[in-house]
Amino acid sequence: MDDKKDIQKPNPLLRFFDKHSAHTNPFATNQSADRAYRRAERLVAALYLVTNHIPSTESIRVSVRAGALAILENVLALRNEMRTDSESVQTCRASIRHLMSLVRLLAVGGFLSIQNANIMIEGLDELGNFLNTSQNSPLSETFALSPENLLDVREGHIKDTIAVKDIKKIKDTSIADGLSDTVSDRRGPSVREENIIAVLRSGGELGIRDIASNLPEYSEKMIQRHLVDLIAAGRVKKTGLKRWSRYSIVR
């Protein structure tokens, strides 16, 4: 009974996040920061849900919610600093670690089941790990360059930094979660494959779940399908079998 008392129904909330995408984008082409912020939004919403039943007079409820809001602010502050191990990045990691401790205290105090506490802690830890792996990824750039930007000069002006094809790429990578994997990919699989390549380049040898944790908008099934194509193209190599399979860039 105790394990069920704090379980909420998250489906309406998830549908709210999935169907209400913001047109205001402070992240430019920094896709990693955008993903980190969207992850943080869901974690904060979940923490508010699981603390709803705690009396407002309890200091742990106030601390957890304040810590959750702090993470949102700290992740947003990383929009131009994902590339460096700056003080802002360190502050964000520290706030995540602090909130993990607060969630453990919720479980110790009987305000949160061990099962839900472990899920929340795992989600927070994955967010911190995502920040680490994203630092060396090209997906963390705040602007995109192409050779044409540097070489093609017309009427004394360099062409716009973000080309039309780059705008299409941004749109392709912001497809909402929940789209069926069986739908034919009219947007061009190369965008997804390049994102998978970028994750492998920054992370080394990774499993399917490791890749999926860095590309939350792609399902594991979708990633597996593109990995097969990348292996056939000679761009990715596979070692191990079944659940122990690991993938890396062909050097």
Identify whether residues 134 and 49 lie together within a single domain: yes
The C-alpha atoms of residue 165 and residue 163 are separated, in whole angstroms, by 5
CATH of the domain at 219: 1.10.10.10
**pTM for the full model?**
0.59
Most confident listed range (23-27, 101-105, 129-133): 101-105
How many beta carbons lie within 10 A of that of residue 215, not counting itself? Answer: 20
Which among 122, 115, 5, 112 has a CA at the least distance from the CA of 58?
112
Which among 107, 100, 77 has a CA at the least distance from the CA of 90?
77
Report phi then psi at 239, rounded to 5: -125, 150
Domain that holds residue 80: 2-140
Most confident listed range (2-16, 116-130, 193-207, 210-224): 116-130
Helices assigned H by DSSP within 9-158: 11-19, 31-50, 59-76, 87-108, 114-134, 147-151
Specify the number of domains making up the chain.
2
> Which pLDDT does position 102 carry in this prediction?
96
Report the chain's mean pLDDT, rounded to a whole number: 77
On whether residue 149 sits in a domain, the answer given is no
> Which pLDDT does position 182 carry in this prediction?
39
Identify whether residues 182 and 115 lie together within a single domain: no
pLDDT tens track for 43-53: 999 999 999 99
pLDDT value at 157 more than 70: no
Identify whether residues 191 and 68 lie together within a single domain: no
Which among 143, 144, 138, 120 has a CA at the least distance from the CA of 214?
138
> Which pLDDT does position 167 carry in this prediction?
42
